Structure 1
Amino acid sequence: MKKSNNSKKIIFKRRLLCCSILLVSKLLGCSNSLKCAFCENLLCLYCPLQMKNKFCRTVHSMCPPEELCFRAKGYYAGDLGLTASGCMTKQQCTMKHLVSYKGTNFTMTYTCCNWNFCNLAPSFSFFSSALLVAPLAATAFLLTRWMY
Structure 2
Amino acid sequence: MSTPGTNPSAAHPRFAKALRELGLDEVKARIRRFPDATRTAAEAAAAIGCGLGEIVKSLVFEADGVPVLVLMDGASRVDVERVRQELGAAGVKRADADAVRETTGYAIGGVPPFGHRTKTRVLADRGLLAHAVVWAAAGTPHTVFPMAPASLVTYAGGTLVDVREREA
TM-score tier by shorter-chain length is under 0.3
Higher relative contact order (CA 8 A, sep 6+): 2
Q: TM-score, normalised by structure 1?
A: 0.26
Q: TM-score normalised to the size of structure 2?
A: 0.24
Higher alpha-carbon Rg: 1
- Of Structure 1 and Structure 2, which has the larger fraction of its residues in strand? 1
